[in-house]
Amino acid sequence: MLVIRLQRTGRSNLATYRLIVAEKARPAKGKFHEIIGHYLPSRKDDSLQVNTERVLHWIGSGAVPSDTVARLLKRQGMKDMDKFIKRYTKQKPKKAPPEGASPVKMEEPPVTSNAEQAAPTDAAEGSQADGDKA
């Protein structure tokens, strides 16, 4: 099965991509049939240069564009790319509480003063100090 996909090129931290036609089973950096375009996402305008005539030829021959390539081609203005775009799974909507019920409030623990909190720790330190003396 043929697929139109992106092949990463360029140096580290500055990605550039080729639009290639390759067998789906081949590795991403493996052999390919043809380079049909270039994508430079690091530029301000996300430069995409595609030979649309060749893209249509390969799609007519049975090649399927990847999801990302289909989205890029649709943004470029190519028609009929919707059938190749996969919808992302949506999260289930959170259930709203029933209208008559009021939201449950969590009770906060009672607040103790600093003196009350310090007393047990001082006693614990004192017992340790006594234990060190013995």
Domains of the chain plus CATH, in order, are 2-84 (3.30.1320.10)
Q: How far is CA 49 from the centre of its chain?
A: 25
Give the separation between CA 58 and CA 109, rounded to whole angstroms.
68
3-state secondary structure of 118: helix
76: CB partners within 8 A, 6+ apart? 48, 50
Angstrom CA distances, 74 to 1, 63, 66, 71, stand at: 22, 16, 12, 5
pLDDT tens-digit series, residues 84-118: 777 766 666 777 666 666 666 667 767 766 665 66
* In the predicted structure, residue 129 carries a pLDDT above the cut 60: no
- pTM of this prediction exceeds 0.85: no
Helix runs in 28-79, H state only? 52-60, 67-76
Interstrand relation of 2-9 and 64-65 (parallel, antiparallel or unpaired): parallel
Whether the per-residue pLDDT at 54 is higher than 80: the answer is yes
Rg (C-alpha) for the chain, rounded Å, is 31
Q: Which two structure tokens, joined as six digits, stand for 1? A: 């099965």
What are 63-88's pLDDT values in tens digits? 889 888 888 888 888 777 777 777 76
What is the model's pLDDT at position 31?
86
